[in-house]
Amino acid sequence: MRKKVVILGAGFAGLQLARRIKNKNLDTVLIDQYNFHQFQPLLYQVATGRLEPSSVSFPLRKVFQGEPNLHVRVAKVEKVNTIDNVVHTDSGDFNYDYLVIATGCTSNYFGNKNFEQFAYPMKSTNEALALRNKILLNFEDALSAPTEKLEELMNIVVVGGGPTGVELAGSLAELKKNILPKDYPDTDFSALKIYLIEGLQHTLQNMSEGSQRMSQQYLEQMGVNILLNSVVDDYNGSTLRLKDGREIRTSIMIWTAGIMGNVPAGIPKEAITRGNRIVVDTSNRIKGLENVFAIGDISYMETEQFPKGHPQLANVANNQAKTLASNFDNLLNNKPLASFKYKNPGTMATVGKHKAVVDLPFFSFQGRLAWLTWMFLHLMLILSVKNKLLIFINWAISYFTNDTTLRLILSPTKKEIELTERKMDSIVNKY
């Protein structure tokens, strides 16, 4: 009898694993709350109107067309029962012989309810679209806003100086310089201030000293106000307060300052560690569970080389999925499981046109070559040829014109809101 594998999450890790085991002697069910895979590294370009959501999102059923042993289910996981080997979702229950948790991470607001209510995260396509709408609507409102309201509308604050925060701040600075004055000729955009707030003493804290220095230099040249060693104390939707008492008036606070594992209910508490990640052994098997695995950002694996766990990067997720796919062969053939070994190929971040930083294992470089390297590698990681072509065309147009045509305000319609409410009501009524 064929063994049944259930994969929770269609991010980098879950999708990679599903693609690699689809032809094995297994029945596989891939469960995600969305019917598409999201290429998260480029969501900031969706938020700033450089790319359309469809360019960085890929329908799961299209990926697995003609695969009789792989079944896609769009559902929200409610609980995992590791005793009876059942996953409970809002669309029914799924039995498994092997369970793989690849649910990734979500924004970590460190218990601050105001951050959770008023900040704009950017962990999904929907959140990137919401942010794009908010940014564009602010500029529309600024045309007729009273003087006392303008500062709040024209300040944008990015919290978190990691790669996402740096890339987003740079993209917003280019939007301010190259595009907005042409779109709104009757608005003075010298009043638009972009802030990047980082609690530590450098941007890109986990990269080399040269990359930290250059990223900050690039951003300052582009007009971004960088506040280092600064921690946000609270935010009420219109005023942001720092720990040292300083205040910034803004209606847009973008949160990129922290993430935590998106652990489904039912996982034993003793298997969960800091960052809300799941402790796994070197084969990605969850501590204390024989037939349940975790891969990608949600997993926490200590090794000699990575005593504090592996970095939460797409490359780690993809390679863990590859190792686990091979280990399913070992399980089916009663062979010992192989250990996951990771060699860091390097990290990179882009700040703007001709401005990027790249750290490789033995050397670092910045500038135009780093920017071209960043673009090439990200383009290669895109799933389909069609999407690669669409992104390349948009990037080419943006390069030669310093402009895009993707600044659309796409608010949900009444019917979309009704559909969402109906779905939520059905979940509530079920319980």
Sorted by sequence, the CB contacts under 8 Å of residue 427 that are 6+ apart come out as 76, 90
Q: Is the pTM of this model over 0.85?
A: yes
Same domain, 119 and 218: yes
β-strand pairing of 92-95 with 86-89 = antiparallel
Q: Are residues 251 and 321 in the same domain?
A: no
pLDDT at 427 over 60: no
Asked if 92 and 227 sit in the same domain, the reply is: no
**pLDDT category of residue 430 using cuts at 50, 70 and 90:** low
Considering the domain boundaries, does residue 66 fall inside one? no
Looking at the structure of the chain, the number of domains it has is: 2
Q: Which domain holds residue 178?
A: 113-257+353-401
Kindly report, residue by residue over 112-170, the tens digit of the pLDDT: 999 999 999 999 999 999 999 999 999 999 999 998 899 999 999 999 999 999 999 99
Residue at 341 is within a domain: no
In a domain, 378, yes or no: yes
CATH of the domain at 136: 3.50.50.100
Residues 181 and 243 placed together within one structural domain of the fold: yes
Query: What tens digit of pLDDT does each residue of 42-65 get?
Result: 999 999 999 999 999 999 999 999
136 within 8 A of 49, measured Cβ to Cβ = yes
207, 121: one domain: yes
What pLDDT sits at residue 344?
87
Q: What is the CATH number of the domain that holds 274?
A: 3.50.50.60
Indicate whether 397 belongs to any domain: yes
Evaluate whether 58 touches 387 at the Cβ level (below 8 Å): yes
State the DSSP H helix or E strand holding residue 369, giving kind and residue range, or none if neither.
helix 368-381
pLDDT tens, 321-352?
999 999 999 999 999 999 999 988 899 999 99
324 & 191 share domain: no
Cα Rg of the chain (Å, integer): 22
Together in a domain, 267 and 251: no
